[in-house]
Amino acid sequence: MFHRFANPNRFLRLTRPLVPWAAGLTIVLIGAGLYLGLFASPADYQQGETVRIMYVHVPSAWMAMFCYSGMAIAAAIGMIWKHPLADLTAKASAPVGAAFCFLALFTGSLWGKPMWGTYWVWDARLTSMLVLFFLYLGYMALINAFDDPERGIRAASILVLVGAINVPIIKFSVDWWNTLHQPASVVKMGGPSIDPSMLWPLLLMALGFTTYYIWVILVRIHTEILDSKIRAIRMRQVQG
């Protein structure tokens, strides 16, 4: 059952219908989330209107960690079971995760200026998030650094597996160290401590970012499969 979906043609046939649905859900969810977050939700009693940055910053940070975790799982599957689509999934996820990570760092700096008086501090959460961004860049550099694609995939997979230890560090850094970054307010014991008028736009944005990831990752995997088929055809033509 596991290897049935390793066939690229079967994967294309099963996932092509999902692409327009993922695109449509992305537009609806992000549109609704932005409307509620920017216009319908109230300003914070301490942060004022700057709290609206949260509706992009927090889901971006969640997705940056989610994408890297998915890459680590895909890399492990590719190394252990030699699943051909696992390595493609990790490769396709890297630029998307890096974009989410950059967006989290950028919006976090905009949020930090009015709250902390500076765009950047070497806070445990911020520093570990910056390390995650460098891990994304290192993976993308390694996978294209060798003439032999197999060697590049192997080296990049090792990097992403070693770097996976940084994900729990990001998550629990606000609990393990005394940091400026606020503690968790959504995923925590006892339930969310954020008001529902702010929680619902945040969750809609998180769902919208997730469907966006699914949409883009499917398109990128489809492109990689088609590119490999084109390369194989050209090689046969050259050899023939």
pLDDT in tens, 182-228: 766 665 545 566 878 888 999 999 999 999 999 999 999 999 898 88
In a domain, 47, yes or no: yes
C-beta of residue 100 within 8 angstroms of C-beta of residue 60: yes
- Distance separating alpha carbons of residues 46 and 198, to the nearest angstrom: 14
- Distance separating alpha carbons of residues 15 and 19, to the nearest angstrom: 7
Helices 166-176 and 54-81 cross at an angle (nearest 10°) of 140
In a domain, 2, yes or no: no
- Distance separating alpha carbons of residues 201 and 25, to the nearest angstrom: 15
What pLDDT was estimated at residue 2?
A: 57
The mean per-residue pLDDT over the stretch 139-161 comes to 92
pLDDT in tens, 4-19: 666 788 888 989 999 9
Could you give the number of structural domains in the chain?
A: 1
The residue whose two tokens read 């690229």 is: 8
In a domain, 38, yes or no: yes
In a domain, 11, yes or no: no
Question: Taking the mean position of all CA atoms in its chain, how far away is CA 33?
Answer: 18
Specify the CATH number for the domain of residue 53: 1.20.120
In a domain, 66, yes or no: yes
- Tally: H helices and E strands in the chain: 8, 0
In a domain, 120, yes or no: yes
The residue whose two tokens read 């996932």 is: 15
In a domain, 190, yes or no: yes
190 sits in the region (left: phi over 0; alpha: psi -120 to 50; else beta) called: left
pLDDT at 140 over 90: yes
In a domain, 8, yes or no: no
pLDDT in tens, 25-58: 999 999 999 999 999 998 887 788 888 999 999 9
List the domain range (segments joined by +) for residue 30.
20-239
The mean per-residue pLDDT over the stretch 140-162 comes to 92
Six-digit token pair at 32? 């609704």
